[in-house]
Structure 1
């Protein structure tokens, strides 16, 4: 289910995969044993296995289970396009990939191959044996051509002739027609035909058009119950005679290629980053194949031809006992069957952002000026908080300047429109657009150019660093003085993903935070040198050091018999220095709770090393995406939220920012969240020291455990308007 690519709707996210490959142990620390990290690639695959377990769960609504099958498939595609592709590229170019487990990169690839073969077989079985029968029981049938009666076949033949046939482009392979280029992630039909006149066999490739729906309705569209669909490739395969008239069709099989779609730019060697990136994006389409998926029944002759023409190895071939590309199951979400989906949830407006009277216009600035406000998406509305904040800033004549980072945003973003409105109103507007956000590069380039045309000052960050922090700063004139209004978040300024990504955001009028953000934006847009900040921890210079200092202080407090404790929530943790710091704190007696969504290289519960560390993972309706760092600090608790995971890329090659929460209510809210999430009464996965994840869903008496996200929806909906607003 990162970073934040809606393609992976509740999946892993493109940036989640973009990191160094090595985990290198510190040989100078005799207190820490060798082999103390879990393998990051296998840990990622274990994350995707947890996604698959949700698809296998019969207690979930069946269309949501189909979505989790699609998420698994989409996640795995990106894993190959980025992680596996990067490993192979480094091997080919001679860049050795050291690992923390005493094996070479080829051994890692071998492990990946074994694990993925097992996972893909389980994925196919989950569809065929669990989800598809459950869909049938619910009146949604994905049928095959052979099961249809003549009337249905006649209707579909008409659909094929009118709506599909004109779009298809069969490509022959012979001395006059070389083997065609197979685009990445496209579904294709391999077709072998025989010419009855010459008795010669020929090969052709037929691409399944991505511009058409993956599933075609068998029944009239007005039916909403007991509806049947047939896959587009099945319909095409049973009309090959229309495409090869006069030829005898001997064999036809479905196959799919995954290509290396990693992009590398040497920023210090180019004067125009956008032009260099656009050239690399063109190259992405033609990256070398790294995975070939084929149907189980593909014959050896056809397979031999495809393998030879694509130049893939036997290890890169994956025979799938079922339909290829189950990512197409996302389309089932369009079916109007709310009874087969999660109950609809309408986010509430944060109680501190409510207007004094129910029908009055809210004043976001007045609300923030009263106190810091912590919003929790998607339980609390993004539209009535972050979006309203920027829209009010754009329209307010007293606002002089708006500065904001944009990492990923939706195609019709009201956030971008607000910045354009502000610039057209004559305000100073700075947008730091990260055009290197993986798989969103072209989208971000388009928005950057639109912003520039509107008069927004657009910058692209620092050479060699991605700007991943989530920051917005509004400068407003009040009573003859300038006042700062700031927002620091854990997630992107994206209204679409805010409805499915769990994130926190802090609004504050604290002058110190405003000054911190002013200095940080000056660094990002100009030539200022990073300084230390008062209420922020900023990467790449200070974030790792700041966290290690606080981890070490907890160890010292524990050794001195003082209150200590560390609680961390994040998406991934693989950074050796941070992990080793946590190991040392555990050895000193510090209780440590790690709440991680995906990759975790820590080995918890190992005697003498990490017996005081617990690791839990929660996956569900929403993508757990916030990053929180809590330190007991001898009773004077310090809590930070922000954009950074504990990975090499975040700490060394990105601009990240964490902000410290200071309001007592916010500290209590975060503490209560951890207490609930780490409780044995909540459904979660528990990690053991060998890297195994065990799902806990039932109490000893068989009663279901609490769903964290359901409970948070309930708690948030019950919050009352504070007395100050009554």
Structure 2
């Protein structure tokens, strides 16, 4: 049965927990303090834009195949859309309500918006230049993103016929006058505004044509040569079929982005009903950004500005194509010569050695799997085996993102229908996956799964499976802890770690985690894992403090971390404190990083790098020297679902899992972490001013094979694959650091 529980109890517990996690409010500083903050920290929003510039730079990377470069351009555009709909919308809301809360670097919302506007225009201009260059290069390879005038008469005749038969029935012109109010345009909607004339004495008529979301953005002409034409070009060229008898005086292409964040109200008594309503509201959210083509008719532009009521600072006139996120459709063109070489993930050898029996393999020894180099199928098989094994009595599973066609959901449904006790913690607040998660929750509940939605105020972001099996010795618990989501499509692109264990202590801790989420039974203590928001941050500080103490005592001291983002001021300050004490700190942070590395007197002993490449770095790892030089068999190594952000450490349910098994410990530290730290070919090094420079290997070094690409390494080597014997034989070539003698 679906568990929504009274909101009053949730709020009472949340207030008590927030008082514990948030600490005292910081005093408001003056101008000098703000200046000092700007020198000490990087603004979160500007750091994100810097990350997206690194993504965009991959579209200019001449080492990549052309269609992969086009894909990176599409990704950068999609990223920018989401940033606008969430982050810019949030700042605009603060500015409108007069909220003057400053960011970590001292900027208030209006100052941040001004800085974002400048960078946004620069990124948009660079995207258009990248598209121009790629269009020319793709044309040389027989892939044409064409203007209609470039095509011959036969091709134009085909396009006109296609417009008549396939496009015209889908579109509806809408007059705009006193009796026809301005129509609603959904979030990410695109349309064309036409200014028309019929007869000299008739007033001008304005008509809007919205581009249907179900229509293909790019139309591919038949033939061997790949010729694509944007749908808005067809509508503009053949508009006379829409408006017979009218003269077209001008037109303007536009696109609108709306506020898409969903804030959960404390008074919401039914989360499912609330989110169903909120999803509908999001489609009609406040307009945040209005994009116009550079040749937009002045009268059409004036009307669009008035109707969308967008701050003039957030109206962008594009130098070229709007909606570059849709370019990924062209990347599907069957040209393997213009794409990365195909890669098939390996299946874990340990499990194959046990004839596919996951439980037997895990019972023998802990296993760590690195996706996408090792197949996500092992996670699916683990749950499918649990669903069909008569000895399994119960399954508990967290679900944050699971995808459209989820074999994980199917396994849980099969288990429930087989009579097992199945509990699924479904997080409704997973941004842009809310609607999908409501659907999954409904299907799970129908199958007899006990569906829990967790806390009202906090997201359950931990990735945990818990399976209890009846064996000869008694009940045994098997766990899967992941750094990523249970999403089979993402697992082909995102680098994540899956840790399987039958360690009884970790099993007991995982059970306490589920009791915390499902029944608000706060664990007084755990044996191994740390849970946020009740103790994970404190555990990290304890470990960093130990490294500081070791440095003061003259012992080797070091911290390695691999994260997606680091913005938490307390964590950053603690790392600054460690750097000042002499702790050597290596951070691999893919995205947002509010910490400044290498600042004299602040962070001389900290290095930060970002890896951008074929795969999206997503695994989260912490390693602490523990009195020895990293990497070391004595180091403490942890996997986690949490980034070093306030939302993760203070407002989400996350886990920090220690790796005690020697084989898994060495695999994570001496393969995953070391390869990431030593990568040169996909890495960007952060400079003291917070900007990034690409780490380039000179031609001589490349010729001597001294450059190192961690993605290529993991694709071409046995990697983890569940076999510890591969570790020494497949160690990071010529770059493995010497362990200290202790």
TM (normalized to structure 1)?
0.92
The equivalent residue for 2:262 is 263
**2:117 counterpart of 1:113:** yes
Q: What do residues 170-190 of structure 1 show as CA deviations (whole Å, max 9, x unaligned)?
A: 111112111111111112111
- Decide which of 590, 602, 622 is 1:609's aligned counterpart: 602
Query: 1:374 & 1:430 partners in 2: Cα distance?
Result: 24
Q: Are the structure 2 counterparts of residues 700 and 378 from structure 1 closer, same or farther at C-alpha, using a change threshold of 3 Å?
A: same
The equivalent residue for 1:17 is none
Query: 2:720 & 2:182 partners in 1: Cα distance?
Result: 62
The equivalent residue for 2:213 is 210
The equivalent residue for 1:572 is 565
**2:241 counterpart of 1:237:** no
Q: Are the structure 2 counterparts of residues 254 and 427 from structure 1 closer, same or farther at C-alpha, using a change threshold of 3 Å?
A: same
Per the TM alignment, residue 669 of structure 1 is displaced from its structure 2 partner at its CA by 2.1
The equivalent residue for 2:322 is 324
The equivalent residue for 1:376 is 370
Query: 2:37 & 2:162 partners in 1: Cα distance?
Result: 63
**2:523 counterpart of 1:530:** yes
Query: 1:436 & 1:333 partners in 2: Cα distance?
Result: 31
The equivalent residue for 2:297 is 299
Secondary structure of 1:431's aligned partner:
strand
Per the TM alignment, residue 153 of structure 1 is displaced from its structure 2 partner at its CA by 1.3
The equivalent residue for 1:391 is 384
Count matched residues: 689
Query: 1:520 & 1:481 partners in 2: Cα distance?
Result: 22
Equivalences for residues 545-556 of structure 1 within 5 A: 545-556=538-549
Q: Are the structure 2 counterparts of residues 532 and 722 from structure 1 closer, same or farther at C-alpha, using a change threshold of 3 Å?
A: closer
- Decide which of 698, 711, 723 is 1:709's aligned counterpart: 711
Q: What do residues 540-585 of structure 1 show as CA deviations (whole Å, max 9, x unaligned)?
A: 0101111011111101101101121000000000001100000000
Equivalences for residues 682-701 of structure 1 within 5 A: 682-699=681-698, 701=700
- Decide which of 621, 626, 629 is 1:633's aligned counterpart: 626
- Decide which of 506, 513, 530 is 1:513's aligned counterpart: 506
Per the TM alignment, residue 280 of structure 1 is displaced from its structure 2 partner at its CA by 1.3
Q: Are the structure 2 counterparts of residues 33 and 313 from structure 1 closer, same or farther at C-alpha, using a change threshold of 3 Å?
A: closer
Mean CA deviation greater in 708-717 or 343-352: 708-717
Aligned 8 A contact 2:678 2:708 in 1: no
Aligned 8 A contact 2:402 2:487 in 1: yes
Secondary structure of 2:505's aligned partner:
helix
Aligned-CA RMSD value: 2.0
Mean CA deviation greater in 300-309 or 464-473: 300-309
Q: What do residues 76-103 of structure 1 show as CA deviations (whole Å, max 9, x unaligned)?
A: 0100110011111122233332223333
**2:184 counterpart of 1:191:** no
Per the TM alignment, residue 331 of structure 1 is displaced from its structure 2 partner at its CA by 0.4
Query: 2:455 & 2:108 partners in 1: Cα distance?
Result: 34
Secondary structure of 2:499's aligned partner:
strand
Query: 1:689 & 1:183 partners in 2: Cα distance?
Result: 42
5+ residue gaps, structure 1, are 1-19
Per the TM alignment, residue 679 of structure 1 is displaced from its structure 2 partner at its CA by 2.3
Aligned 8 A contact 2:252 2:301 in 1: no
Per the TM alignment, residue 677 of structure 1 is displaced from its structure 2 partner at its CA by 2.1
Q: What do residues 348-402 of structure 1 show as CA deviations (whole Å, max 9, x unaligned)?
A: 012222234xxxx41100000011101100000111x111100000000000000
Aligned 8 A contact 2:663 2:724 in 1: no
**2:251 counterpart of 1:252:** yes
The equivalent residue for 1:454 is 447
Aligned 8 A contact 2:349 2:723 in 1: yes
Q: Are the structure 2 counterparts of residues 134 and 723 from structure 1 closer, same or farther at C-alpha, using a change threshold of 3 Å?
A: closer
Per the TM alignment, residue 532 of structure 1 is displaced from its structure 2 partner at its CA by 2.4
5+ residue gaps, structure 2, are 1-21, 629-633, 727-742
Q: Are the structure 2 counterparts of residues 702 and 158 from structure 1 closer, same or farther at C-alpha, using a change threshold of 3 Å?
A: farther
Secondary structure of 1:212's aligned partner:
coil
Query: 2:104 & 2:620 partners in 1: Cα distance?
Result: 26
Secondary structure of 1:206's aligned partner:
strand
Query: 1:645 & 1:653 partners in 2: Cα distance?
Result: 12
Query: 1:218 & 1:700 partners in 2: Cα distance?
Result: 43
Per the TM alignment, residue 333 of structure 1 is displaced from its structure 2 partner at its CA by 2.5
Aligned 8 A contact 2:664 2:724 in 1: no
Query: 1:482 & 1:102 partners in 2: Cα distance?
Result: 55
Aligned 8 A contact 1:188 1:205 in 2: yes
- Decide which of 88, 93, 96 is 1:89's aligned counterpart: 93
Per the TM alignment, residue 269 of structure 1 is displaced from its structure 2 partner at its CA by 1.2
Q: Are the structure 2 counterparts of residues 558 and 293 from structure 1 closer, same or farther at C-alpha, using a change threshold of 3 Å?
A: same
- Decide which of 358, 361, 364 is 1:367's aligned counterpart: 361
Query: 1:541 & 1:561 partners in 2: Cα distance?
Result: 33
- Decide which of 152, 157, 163 is 2:160's aligned counterpart: 157
Q: What do residues 316-343 of structure 1 show as CA deviations (whole Å, max 9, x unaligned)?
A: 1111111000111110122111111111
Per the TM alignment, residue 701 of structure 1 is displaced from its structure 2 partner at its CA by 2.6
Aligned 8 A contact 2:679 2:710 in 1: no
The equivalent residue for 1:43 is 47
Secondary structure of 1:179's aligned partner:
coil
Per the TM alignment, residue 485 of structure 1 is displaced from its structure 2 partner at its CA by 0.2
Secondary structure of 1:172's aligned partner:
strand
Query: 2:305 & 2:708 partners in 1: Cα distance?
Result: 49
Mean CA deviation greater in 672-681 or 60-69: 672-681
Query: 1:402 & 1:511 partners in 2: Cα distance?
Result: 16
Per the TM alignment, residue 662 of structure 1 is displaced from its structure 2 partner at its CA by 1.2
Per the TM alignment, residue 33 of structure 1 is displaced from its structure 2 partner at its CA by 6.0
The equivalent residue for 2:654 is 656
- Decide which of 124, 139, 162 is 1:136's aligned counterpart: 139
- Decide which of 107, 111, 114 is 1:103's aligned counterpart: 107
**2:472 counterpart of 1:479:** yes
**2:467 counterpart of 1:468:** no
TM (normalized to structure 2)?
0.90
Query: 1:338 & 1:658 partners in 2: Cα distance?
Result: 41
Q: Are the structure 2 counterparts of residues 683 and 340 from structure 1 closer, same or farther at C-alpha, using a change threshold of 3 Å?
A: same
The equivalent residue for 2:350 is 352
Q: Are the structure 2 counterparts of residues 680 and 405 from structure 1 closer, same or farther at C-alpha, using a change threshold of 3 Å?
A: closer
Per the TM alignment, residue 117 of structure 1 is displaced from its structure 2 partner at its CA by 0.4
Secondary structure of 2:249's aligned partner:
strand
Aligned 8 A contact 2:367 2:722 in 1: no
Secondary structure of 1:99's aligned partner:
coil
